[in-house]
């Protein structure tokens, strides 16, 4: 009887220790276009970390909606949130609000040098690092190289050249139903990315980061917006682009109905897929045009992984972040989705560059990609600019200068608030 009792005690002790070692890690991400890649990566992490179970909560695909979901959890100091996806424009806000855990003790300076510099800078705020880059985006110009060759036209170097080339091709292809340009002009964050590339390539800016004052009402910014309204929207581009996000604008291009198209790197894989694209084998890609006297500008985009400041297991959370941003997983994501990796070594990986020959070209673009200005009040500033851009592009008779002055006024109020009263 005593021996049986001891056996029961041993079993109970073993079960207790097993339960103590079993841990759940909660990971919030958006809805991926390749869920199997994420599921396999999570399964591999669990295999390498016995007793750990990763609970994946799939949020909205929209960056804005995912932001709202995460903000609500973090405001409530939800201990059930450990690791989350973070858009490159969020670190300043999440750091200032004390929502994201500083990663300096985990993510060393030496480790950061293994990544492309631009997304590392985007993950920093006030000399601390809050995120690890998972994949990187930057704006690119896609075009119908077959049509440009037919009319002996080079890839446009300036925005006026793009407009004139589009007009030439449309005039020559009278019965084709072609439109000249397909971009993202719906009132959402993608509109900011598109307009930033135009404004900055005209030597303008959204605001002065040193003085913290708006510049959207200055001549360079105003003339860039005027150009889009007068020469792109309703001219070479169908007015339907005012309702386009990335999927709609890309669909128009791969259906063979647009000559030029602005999008992120993943669009190359989609456009070259002969199963779904009518323009496969006919697509060229280049840096975005500039205005005369300016330089090409590509908005930095992409996603990062961050750890909640309220996680009860930050060491385990870091182990997961480090695994998911490692070379093997980034390589899988790149091959499955066309999303570009953030680790420098992968741009010399023979297997990956064979599958994605555009990577060498992309690396040059990524090195010069421009992040959106870092501030804890970025989202409300973006909302002000979205309303301004959307209204003046949609309404041809709108006074752009007057509307820009109102937008600048509202932006300055937010920037002043950020200076005087840090967000917590």
Label residue 420 by pLDDT band (50, 70, 90): low
Residue-wise pLDDT for 86-115, tens only, equals: 999 999 999 999 999 999 999 999 999 999
Judge contact between 242 and 186, C-beta under 8 A.
yes
Query: Is 6's pLDDT higher than 80?
Result: no
pLDDT at 417: 85
Residue-wise pLDDT for 299-341, tens only, equals: 999 999 999 999 999 999 999 999 999 999 999 999 999 899 9
Label residue 21 by pLDDT band (50, 70, 90): low
Q: What mean pLDDT comes out for the span 379-386?
A: 96
Query: Is 126's pLDDT higher than 80?
Result: yes
Residue-wise pLDDT for 36-89, tens only, equals: 999 999 999 999 999 999 999 999 888 888 999 999 999 999 998 999 999 999
pLDDT at 12: 41
Query: Is 3's pLDDT higher than 70?
Result: no
Compute φ and ψ for 125, nearest 5 degrees: -155, 125
Query: Is 9's pLDDT higher than 90?
Result: no
Query: Is 20's pLDDT higher than 70?
Result: no
pLDDT at 419: 75
Query: Is 16's pLDDT higher than 50?
Result: no
Compute φ and ψ for 12, nearest 5 degrees: -65, -40
String of b and e for 220-238 (b: at least 16 CB within 10 Å)? bbbebbebbbebbbebbbb
Query: Is 357's pLDDT higher than 50?
Result: yes
As a whole-number percent, the residues of the chain with pLDDT over 90 amount to 86
Compute φ and ψ for 343, nearest 5 degrees: -85, 125
pTM for the full predicted model: 0.88
pLDDT at 4: 43
Kindly report the average pLDDT of the chain as a whole number. Answer: 92
Q: Which residues face 263 on adjacent strands?
A: 140
Label residue 423 by pLDDT band (50, 70, 90): very low
Q: What mean pLDDT comes out for the span 269-288?
A: 96
Q: What mean pLDDT comes out for the span 158-181?
A: 94
* pLDDT-wise least confident of 10-19, 152-161, 364-373, 391-400: 10-19
> Which structural domains are found in the chain, ordered by start?
23-137+301-367 (3.40.190.10), 139-299+374-420 (3.40.190.10)
* pLDDT-wise least confident of 33-37, 238-242, 280-284: 33-37
pLDDT at 307: 98
pLDDT at 95: 97
* Distance from C-alpha of 327 to C-alpha of 345, rounded to nearest angstrom: 8
pLDDT at 13: 41
pLDDT at 66: 93
pLDDT at 34: 87
């Amino acid at each position: 009887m005593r021996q049986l009792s001891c056996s029961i005690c041993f079993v109970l002790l073993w079960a207790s220790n097993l339960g103590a070692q079993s841990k759940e890690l909660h990971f919030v991400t958006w809805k991926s276009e390749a869920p199997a890649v994420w599921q396999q990566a999570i399964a591999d992490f669990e295999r390498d970390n016995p007793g750990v179970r990763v609970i994946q909560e799939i949020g909205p695909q929209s960056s804005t909606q995912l932001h709202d979901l995460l903000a609500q959890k973090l405001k409530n100091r939800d201990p059930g949130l450990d690791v989350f996806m973070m858009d490159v424009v969020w670190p300043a806000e999440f750091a200032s609000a004390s929502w994201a855990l500083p990663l300096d003790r985990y993510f060393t300076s030496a480790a950061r040098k293994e990544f492309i510099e631009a997304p590392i800078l985007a993950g920093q705020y006030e000399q601390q690092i809050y995120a690890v880059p998972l994949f990187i985006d930057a704006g690119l110009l896609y075009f119908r190289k077959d049509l440009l060759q037919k009319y002996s036209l080079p890839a446009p170097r300036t925005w006026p050249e793009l407009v004139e080339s589009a007009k030439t091709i449309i005039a020559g292809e009278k019965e084709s139903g072609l439109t000249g340009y397909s971009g993202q002009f719906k009132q959402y964050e993608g509109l900011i990315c598109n307009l930033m590339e135009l404004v900055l390539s005209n030597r303008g800016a959204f605001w002065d980061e040193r003085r913290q004052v708006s510049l959207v009402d200055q001549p360079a910014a105003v003339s860039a917006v005027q150009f889009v309204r007068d020469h792109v929207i309703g001219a070479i581009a169908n007015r339907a682009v005012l309702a386009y996000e990335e999927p709609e604008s890309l669909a128009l291009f791969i259906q063979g109905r647009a000559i030029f198209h602005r999008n992120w790197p993943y669009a190359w894989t989609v456009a070259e897929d002969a199963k779904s694209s009518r323009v496969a084998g006919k697509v060229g890609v280049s840096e975005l045009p500039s205005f005369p006297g300016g330089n090409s500008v590509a908005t930095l985009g992409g996603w990062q992984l961050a750890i909640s400041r309220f996680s009860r297991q930050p060491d385990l959370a870091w182990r997961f972040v480090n695994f998911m941003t490692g070379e093997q997983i980034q390589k899988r994501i790149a091959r499955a989705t066309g999303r570009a990796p953030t680790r420098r070594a992968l741009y010399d990986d023979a297997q990956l560059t064979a599958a994605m020959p555009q990577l060498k070209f992309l690396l040059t673009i990524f090195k010069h990609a421009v992040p959106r200005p870092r501030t804890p009040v970025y989202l409300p500033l973006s909302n002000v600019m979205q309303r301004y851009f959307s209204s003046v592009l949609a309404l041809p008779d709108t006074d752009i200068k007057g509307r820009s002055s109102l937008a600048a006024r509202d932006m300055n109020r937010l920037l002043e608030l950020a200076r005087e009263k840090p967000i917590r």
